Structure 1
Amino acid sequence: MPEQLDGAPFWPLFAFFFGIVLLRTQLTYWAARLVTAWSLDHTRPQRPWVRRVHDWLQGEGAARGVRTVERWGLVAVPLSFLASGTKTVVNAAAGVLTMPFTRYLPAMLLGCVAHATIYATVGWAAWSAALAAATGSPWGIAAIVAVVMLAAAAIVVRVRRRRASVESSSD
């Protein structure tokens, strides 16, 4: 988060988090909807990013989101903003199922308001407190550095595996 918002009043924090989540959920919905349409037109997408999204949409996470939207309908969209790890799969499922945008938009905006409210109040305060506690000790700093290094290593391994599988499938 930008330094200017650290210790900021509620409304600037709300606007910051609302903007972030609005952009993220719109990108997720439209990418899933676009890749679904392209996948129906083409059996195997050729663009690398479309192929990655296509492969993700074929996975269990997206299937879980589709089942949730099929079971709960439109209510699943705003509720997905209240539980960790559900926004992406539910909003992608709404795109996969080509939920009409005129119905999706109000539900998504309601979820964005809930998300921004949570993060502008207790969510950001909890994150700030945890980060301050971790960086206040040498062990906390070491733990943060270790987590960042592990995440970077995992990304490198994943990219290399993906490249190897793409190269082997093109042979």
Structure 2
Amino acid sequence: MLDWIRSLPLIPAIAFLLVVIYLRAGATYALGRFATQLAHRSRLRRFLESAAVASAQDKLARWGAPLVALSFLTVGFQTAVNAAAGVVRMPLRRYLPALAVGGFLWAVIYATAGLAAFSLWWRLLVANPLAAVLVVLAIFGAAMVIRGGRRARARLRSPATPLAGAADRQGTGSSSVRAD
């Protein structure tokens, strides 16, 4: 199928991939909504009606559209985000525009550089499976190093939380005992 898509001119290839991603992501969203409906009829109902879930639904309804759109620039994460948007019942008026934007970006990238990169990796896999696995592991490792570096920088920038013992020594902690 990859050769068939690559044989298409760019615009028809993007159009075909748009149909694919809209159907796939839309179905994932719908499955998330359906799973929530089933869960509401089960023991999970109390959890799904909790304040925490209501808060998550509110945040995703307000801020989820950019997350949905940007998730299409990742591999694997997009499925989780689309399912989560369905599970928390993100309103369609916010979900569909995000799907349109993110899906379009995905189709353009996949029809151009993404498809070429995957085709190159597939040829490597056929020729030398070990090298193909090492390439995937190297990319994954690089992503983890970048993520770890970002987390470390974020920890250095965040203010340190005082230790409970320090608060007690100052007499502001709840466990300080005074001898009168």
Please report how far the alpha carbon of residue 28 of structure 1 lies from its aligned counterpart in structure 2 after TM superposition: 0.7
1:6 is paired with a residue whose SS is helix
Structure 1 residues 129, 96: CA separation in 2 closer, same or farther (over 3 Å shift)?
Answer: same
Which of 77, 83, 99 is matched with 2:90 structurally? 99
Q: Say if 1:30 and 1:95, in contact at 8 Å, map to a contact too.
A: yes
**Which position in structure 1 is the counterpart of 2:118?**
127
Q: Which runs of 4+ in 1 moved over 6 A?
A: none
Please report how far the alpha carbon of residue 2 of structure 1 lies from its aligned counterpart in structure 2 after TM superposition: 5.4
Please report how far the alpha carbon of residue 43 of structure 1 lies from its aligned counterpart in structure 2 after TM superposition: 3.0
- Taking only the aligned residue pairs, the percentage that are identical comes to 38
Using structure 2 for the length normalisation, give the TM-score: 0.57
Q: Say if 2:61 and 2:94, in contact at 8 Å, map to a contact too.
A: no
CA distance in 2, matches of 1:6, 1:84: 20
Structure 1 residues 37, 122: CA separation in 2 closer, same or farther (over 3 Å shift)?
Answer: same
Which of 74, 94, 103 is matched with 1:112 structurally? 103
**Which position in structure 1 is the counterpart of 2:22?**
22
Pairing 1:1-171 to 2, within 5 Å after superposition: 1=1, 3-43=3-43, 69=60, 72-135=63-126, 137=127, 139-140=128-129
Using structure 1 for the length normalisation, give the TM-score: 0.60
The count of corresponding residues between Structure 1 and Structure 2 is: 121
Please report how far the alpha carbon of residue 71 of structure 1 lies from its aligned counterpart in structure 2 after TM superposition: 8.8
Please report how far the alpha carbon of residue 4 of structure 1 lies from its aligned counterpart in structure 2 after TM superposition: 3.0
Which one has the largest radius of gyration?
2
Please report how far the alpha carbon of residue 14 of structure 1 lies from its aligned counterpart in structure 2 after TM superposition: 0.7
Alpha carbon RMSD of aligned pairs, Å? 2.8
Larger helix proportion of the pair: 1
**Structure 2: unaligned runs, 5 residues or longer:** 45-55, 134-180
